[in-house]
A = this chain, B = another copy of it.
Amino acid sequence: MTNIKEVAKECGVSVATVSRVFSGSDPVRPETRERVLAVAQRLGYSPNMLARGLKKARTQTVGIIIPSIDNSFYLGILKQIEIILRKKGYRMLVSFLQHGGTSERDAISLMASSRVDALVFTPRDRSNADLIGALRENTGLFQLFTDTYETIDSVTVDDAGGVREAVSLLLKEGHRRILYVGGDPRVSGYYSAYADAGLTPEDGLVCLDWSADEAAVCRMIREKKPTAVFSVAGQSEKVWSAFRSLSLKVPEDVSLIVYDDSVWARLLGITAVAHPLEEIAERLCERIFLRLEGNETAGEGGKITVSPFLIRRESVAPSASGTGNQ
């Protein structure tokens, strides 16, 4: 592959001049510039970012590690981020985690040896604190959707708030037996909503078990006869399938709100709590650029929380069993 030396020779200038033309670091006489550009084009020259990175100790690369949860919105955000990054001249190196496959540890090592300028990740725990600690001196670190390390910047979504808003809506429509199918951290929003309304949920209405399958969901529905269901990402599909197999109609027989909007929620007219993907990507990249190009060293306003929002569609109806008692 053509290198800077060949371009310089062919052009009758020094390598420094060619370098200046391509990096824009110093002014170059316009005519010389044109000539260099023309020759480079003719020879198919493309600056070697490896060499540049080695010299400058900056790779113009941001690494991102995607956890193995397959929330499809994660991939949407990946796209958003890459596009913003590209506009600023950054590349994106991605690594997907996989149950039983690549460990977060390996992925971090990979990013480290690739000398990414910044790393975006979603640490579940602090088991790789050692690696992370070694990285933080030279690498911009950013937690996405989590705030596992207090000392590292983060962009998170106020999940509990989103749940609370959704459950409050259900309560306002008169529902009292609202089944919650989802994860642990967010469930606090469920209880807050009940508390806000001065109510207490019946026992057995909360399913925090991620491994609950369709059959388990069916069982809960048959047992507790909820008038509404609130379900989180991966579980919503099971809930929907359960409704189908129980021949329950939405919203006639049961109301439904899902956490995490998706194509299918939209198509089915299901009211959903959505993440502001663009906002997340923008705020995150903003912080990245500040860290990489600004004079900022670390934190200071490094903890960002964005609010999810409710998209009302047609899966919620007033409770048939009246608005007061259960």
Contact = CB atoms under 8 A, between A and B. Distances in A.
Nearest to A130: B44
Contact of A91 (B49, B93, B134, B263): B93
Interface string A241-266: 10010000000000000000011101
Interface in A79-114: 79, 82-83, 86-87, 91-96, 98, 101-102, 106, 109-110, 112-114
Contact of A79 (B59, B96, B109, B268): B96
Given A75-B75, A263-B264, A82 B54 contact: no
A318 interface: no
A201 interface: no
B102 A86 contact: yes
A112 B46 contact: yes
Given A75-B72, A264-B263, A48 B91 contact: no
Q: Copy number of this protein in the oligomer? A: 2
A114 B93 CA distance: 11
B113 A95 contact: no
A267 B94 contact: no
A53 interface: yes
Interface residues of A, number: 52
Given A75-B78, A263-B262, A95 B101 contact: no
A138 interface: yes
B237 A113 contact: no
Contacts of A244: 269
Contact of A94 (B49, B82, B134, B266): B82
Interface in A1-32: 1
A93 B95 contact: no
Contacts of A92: 93-95
A275 interface: no
A135 to B, nearest CB: 9
Contacts of A53: 50
Given A72-B75, A102-B83, A48 B54 contact: yes
Given A72-B75, A92-B94, A49 B113 contact: yes
Nearest to A2: B134
A134 B268 contact: no
A149 interface: no
Nearest to A80: B96
A240 interface: yes
Given A70-B79, A82-B96, A240-B267, 16 more contacts: A46-B109, A46-B113, A48-B54, A48-B113, A66-B79, A72-B72, A82-B94, A82-B95, A83-B96, A83-B98, A91-B110, A92-B94, A94-B94, A237-B263, A237-B266, A263-B263
12 contacts: A1-B137, A44-B134, A46-B109, A49-B113, A50-B59, A66-B79, A72-B72, A78-B94, A82-B96, A83-B102, A262-B263, A262-B264
